[in-house]
Amino acid sequence: MALDVKSRSKRYEKLDFLGEGQFATVYKARDKTTDTIVAIKKIKVGHRTEAKDVRLGATRPRNHVSPTGINRTALREIKLLQELHHSNIIGLLDAFGHKSNISLVFDFMETDLEALQMKYFSNRPGPTPGPQLPRPNGPAEALREKEIVGLKRKIEGLETTVMKKKLIF
């Protein structure tokens, strides 16, 4: 039986603020039912008037909102993460709306890519390692299987922007 929105929002206990971007705030939280640590990304939902302004020919912001008031980049991220399942890609565990936000619940990772790069590569003599060859059954292969043709990652934070062929957003 599926939990209703109110139950889903009460399922998580906020523990710590992790960061904030233009469209979202990320928190460390505890899932009360499984007693596991998760990351919750609260996406700020715009107003329908913002979407109306875009449709009427106003200057179009980079991450414009859909007619529902939801940021289109966030919609793409949710759609993609619901399809991707790989051990080396942080998983989307849950997604639900509450009040004027959309909350995405992710597996929690103690650090980010930038911290790992600083820890392992910043004090080494010589050039920083370049791109590695794709591994069979690696995260890049999982992206190719889903026909994802472009990927842009922010080193800090959880935001991912993707383009997928055959889908129009």
Residue numbers belonging to the annotated binding site:
42
Residue bearing tokens 């139950």? 7
Cα 5 to its chain centre, rounded Å, is 20
- Binding-site residue numbers for ATP are 42
Burial (0-12, 13-18, 19+ Cβ within 10 Å), 158? buried
Interior angle at CA 93, CA 88 and CA 97, nearest 5? 140
Q: What span, in angstroms and rounded, lies between the C-alpha atoms of 135 and 133?
A: 6
Q: What span, in angstroms and rounded, lies between the C-alpha atoms of 107 and 105?
A: 7
H/E run at residue 12: strand 12-20
